[in-house]
Structure 1
Amino acid sequence: MTTAFSPAFGRPTQLPALPTMPEGWPIGSYDTYESAQRAVDHLADNEFPVQDVTIVGVEPLVVERVSARLTWGKVLTSGALSGAWFGLFVGLLLTLFTPGAGMFPLLIGLLTGVAFGLAFSAMNYAATRGRRDFVSRSQLVARRYDVLCLPRNAEAGRDMLARLAMSAPERR
């Protein structure tokens, strides 16, 4: 297996220090990132100089996927659990470094952690005043993904990807 740290990895590519526009000619365009990745993998499997290739997401979108409704019960339960884990950790450290203390520091850490977890989660949720009563995750996606290649190898890359597209079974 070849990794970035193996000597056979090839010549290192210098990434620009500042954001720059990608260079190259389009050699393929795909609806999903997975398809674009599969195309570049095909090029790599066929000994194509992939250091000349760039995958570009065109028309980026921020997609926020709502996963659950947020309630006081969920907020307080989550706060208590996260506080309990932190409190147990602190209590365990105190127990390890306090000879003869027994389980007392562990119990104090747990109770204090739960109390602070409840308090902080309640304050944070109350501060939103009901403007955000849901849990979500954001993703950056693109409408399409173009595979670009530097001009010196663009024609060969376009031919290889065209052969791949012709040999692939049609998906519906």
Structure 2
Amino acid sequence: MAPVTHGPFALDFPQSLGVFDDYAAAQAAVDHLADEEFPVKNVLIVGTDLKQVERVTGRLTTGRVALMGAASGAWLGLFIGLLIGLFAEQGSWVSTVLTGLGLGVVFGVVWSLLGYAATRGQRDFSSVSSVVATKYEVLVEHKLLARGQELLAQRPGQPVDL
């Protein structure tokens, strides 16, 4: 593996101390090293074998798109209305905020419906997505590899080599 040279993630000639199926297991291994006073500042936990996961959250309809657009537009309009209202004449800030809110709702609905119409039929669902790691590799500087392996082998519940 090539040296990791990105700022705080820099290690000289990193070596693999172990590969774990989930982050909690990798974290537990590093926690054990810390408990044994291993210099954990020389350790990296690296998520590997990345995959994108998309969770479908519902079906999109014209009404739902308009409602979501109104909600996001309301927040934007409220924010802008409050900013402008700070500089409005005394007594008129309420109308300024309400005008910003109303215009934001209208803008949000129109913009979201235009976007929905442009992609009609190609994506009639809403979703959230994330990139997740399927494995977590614990890397350590090469000069500390043997000590790290020794300490991890001593963890409770680990098989003992005879």
Q: TM-score range by the shorter chain?
A: 0.7 to 0.9
1:119 is displaced (CA, Å) by: 0.6
Please report the TM-score for the alignment, with normalisation by the length of structure 1. 0.74
Could you list the structure 1 runs, at least 4 aligned residues long, displaced by more than 6 angstroms after superposition.
19-22
Distance 1:161 1:103, change over 3 A: same
Q: Deviations over 1:91-145 (max 9, x none)?
A: 3333332224263223322221111010111111112122122222222223322
Counterpart in the other structure of 1:106 = 97
Cα distance between partner residues in 2 of 1:21 and 1:133: 46
1:30 is displaced (CA, Å) by: 0.8
Distance 1:110 1:148, change over 3 A: closer
Counterpart in the other structure of 1:11 = none
Distance 1:106 1:25, change over 3 A: closer
1:166 is displaced (CA, Å) by: 1.9
Please report the TM-score for the alignment, with normalisation by the length of structure 2. 0.78
Structure 1: gaps spanning 5 or more residues = 1-13, 168-172
Q: Verify the 8 A CA contact 1:27 1:158 in the aligned structure 2.
A: yes
Equivalent of residue 65 in structure 1, options 30, 55, 66 = 55
Q: Deviations over 1:11-50 (max 9, x none)?
A: xxx9436x99994332222100221122112212321112
Q: Which amino acid aligns with 2:30?
A: V
Q: Which amino acid aligns with 1:25?
A: Q
Counterpart in the other structure of 1:10 = none
Counterpart in the other structure of 2:76 = 86
Give the CA RMSD over aligned residues.
Answer: 2.7
Equivalent of residue 37 in structure 2, options 39, 42, 47 = 47
Q: Verify the 8 A CA contact 2:11 2:42 in the aligned structure 1.
A: no
1:128 and 2:137 are equivalent in the alignment = no
